[in-house]
Amino acid sequence: MAINPATLKAITKVATTAVSDERARRVILIACLLPFIMILLVLSSPFAIFFSMTSDGTNVDAISISDTMDSLKKQFEEKIREEKEDDTVDEVRTVIMGSEDNNIIDNSADILIAYSVKYNVTNKNAEQMAVLTEEQINKLENVFWDMNTITSKIETITEKKTYITTNEKGKRITKTKTINKNIKTIYIDCLSAEEIALAYHFNQKQQRVIEEMKKSGIVAFVGNNTGMLTLNKEQITEIKEFLPGNLSIEREKIVKTACSIVGKVNYFWGGKSSSIGWDNRWGKQMTVTSKGSPTTGTKRPFGLDCSGYVTWVFINMGIPVGTINETIGQGTTQQWNLSNSMPESLALPGDLAFLAVPGTRKVNHIGIVVGKDKKGRILVAHCASGANNVVVTTAESVGFMYYRRPAVLME
């Protein structure tokens, strides 16, 4: 089996830097001592698809995965544009399922993971993917369209419009006119690898591989997302200028506040609160109005979503409500962009834990580091839809992979 030097170099680099688990890193480093074995292991594994992206152009049969993905994403955007340009309706609305800011989700990494697991984690007929054939590209395209769907529905609503006119005698009179309005709602769904795994009926081994591939850090090689923002000193200073001069945010108080509503406040999609202390709306039946969730339009006990929980905690630390968008943020994307990345080993109570880079998967999740358990595992307080409550769990059990320090906590 031939392999070009650029691919081997990439394999070694990822093997020694991308894997965060020390035991896994040691295993791979040992494998690197035996290059031929390493090549066989990687090229017959789901990771091969990522290394095929490093082709140096010497193989004329190679088909660029990045070019294929770019082409598919452009086709997806074009289909959405065509749906929006519907002159048979009066109004078009767009709902991105699982997106809190209603922006398109770039699930490229999940697509490649799902594809590689679907066709390379089998008992037989596993495909070598260091060089992708046209047939394999066709399979990749099929997975893309399975994981990125566009549906729509049109409904007619009746509105009564009141207006004032003048009759033949010059007297002003009020009239009511009934108007029928056709509204088209476009639903865009960008599935995660875990979601498509259910549709593909992946077995336990395949689901485990998805989990391990995500933990490995290999997904960092995919996409051009802009969520990897690192703040410089000037930006941090500018953010902190919005805070009162005498404000001191103590990490111990963050933990105490974060834990004060554990088990007491329900998860509610789009739930926000600027209340100091208990919000009297919590627990009362309210309609979910935020778009993008299966719960939208249903009634349930009002509470907080994951990012709303983080915002509430920091408001109760003394951050003025009027400065939230510039200091701690509302929504996981803002909260990511107003913080700095750090390794897990440096995470302290009060720092933030994220499930994913913003914009790369449906329903990102965020929590606040509150300490460690007896085994040294990081504990995170978060408002979880699965538990329908504010809970404290290990970061590992939820899948938190990224740790960031809010600018308001930086020295």
- Mean pLDDT of successive 10-residue stretches along the chain, which has 411 residues: 44 45 47 41 55 50 74 95 95 92 89 87 54 80 97 92 83 86 96 94 89 68 57 92 92 98 97 97 97 94 98 97 96 95 94 92 93 96 95 94 94 82
Q: How many CA atoms lie within 13 A of 10 on its CB side?
A: 20
Strand partners, 181: 157
Q: Give residue 75's pLDDT.
A: 97
Strand partners, 182: 156
Q: Give residue 25's pLDDT.
A: 46
- Beta carbons within 8 Å of 140's beta carbon, 6+ residues apart: 65, 68, 111, 112, 115, 132
User: Max Cα separation, the chain?
Assistant: 99
Q: Distance between alpha carbon 286 and the CA centroid of its chain, in Å?
A: 26
Order across the sheet with 172-190: list the strands: 91-96, 172-190, 148-166
Q: Give residue 120's pLDDT.
A: 75
d(CA 87, CA 92): 10
Strand partners, 369: 380
Considering the entire predicted model, what is its pTM? 0.76
Q: Give residue 65's pLDDT.
A: 76
Protein fold of 233-409? endopeptidase fold (from Nostoc punctiforme) (3.90.1720)
The continuous run of DSSP H or E covering 333 comes out as helix 332-337
Whether the Cβ atoms of residue 98 and residue 362 lie closer than 8 Å to each other:
yes
d(CA 233, CA 411): 10
d(CA 11, CA 18): 10
The residue extents of the domains of the chain are 5-153+183-221, 233-409
